[in-house]
Amino acid sequence: MTVAAKTVLEDVHLGDSIAVNGTCLTVTEFDTGLSEFTVGLAPETLRKTSLVELGVGSKVNLERAVGPTGRMGGHFVQGHVDGTGEIVSMESEEDSLWVKVRTGKEILRYIVPKGFIAVDGTSLTVVDVNDEEEWFSFMLVAYTQQKIVIPLKKAGQKVNLEVDILGKYVERLLSSGFVESFKSS
């Protein structure tokens, strides 16, 4: 896949990671003169993400990996997409936008109100979760709406989802018997 971009190409190298709609991809070619870069897409990437739905001219969110000496703000987003969701509705309230996304129980179990979710690579705070109807919601302020691709989408379109890695680690530790081993010692 070839992507036209300028800002993310500053100081880019072959092998660097650039997240496209929240999907961490490896730069395989780039041309700063043409302001574009190319990434490879593995079959697993296409199965797990919404990238297969992109066409020529599609707008995407782009983000470079944080360097080890840079400021770390916000949530820990890795670019390792856990699956997809489907936009159920988008409703305005004053200058903000409510977005409701449906996803499966395998992803929804890691989503909690006031927790974080990355949607197409945008780190967001979850407002509400409905386990029975299998959806969660978040709100976008006006500034964010102007900087990302989510407001350009319509109900029925897919979005990439990455849940909080800490929730997955906690689940793994609890299911492994790790905590029980401390109780018995």
pLDDT, tens digit, 9 for 90 and up, residues 87-145: 999 999 999 999 999 999 999 999 999 999 999 999 999 999 999 999 999 999 999 99
Same domain, 90 and 168: yes
Q: For residue 24, what are its two tokens?
A: 């961490």
Q: In the predicted model, is pLDDT for residue 7 greater than 90?
A: no
Q: How many domains does the chain have?
A: 2
Strand-pairing partners, residue 100, are 89, 137
Q: Which domain holds residue 26?
A: 2-64
Q: For residue 16, what are its two tokens?
A: 């660097």
Q: In the predicted model, is pLDDT for residue 181 greater than 80?
A: no
CATH number of the domain that residue 34 is part of: 2.40.30.20
Q: How do residues 16-40 score in pLDDT, each as one tens digit?
A: 999 999 999 999 999 999 999 999 9
Residue 113 has a pLDDT of 95
**Could you tell me if 99 and 138 are in contact, meaning their C-beta atoms sit under 8 angstroms apart?**
yes
Mean pLDDT, rounded, for 156-168:
92
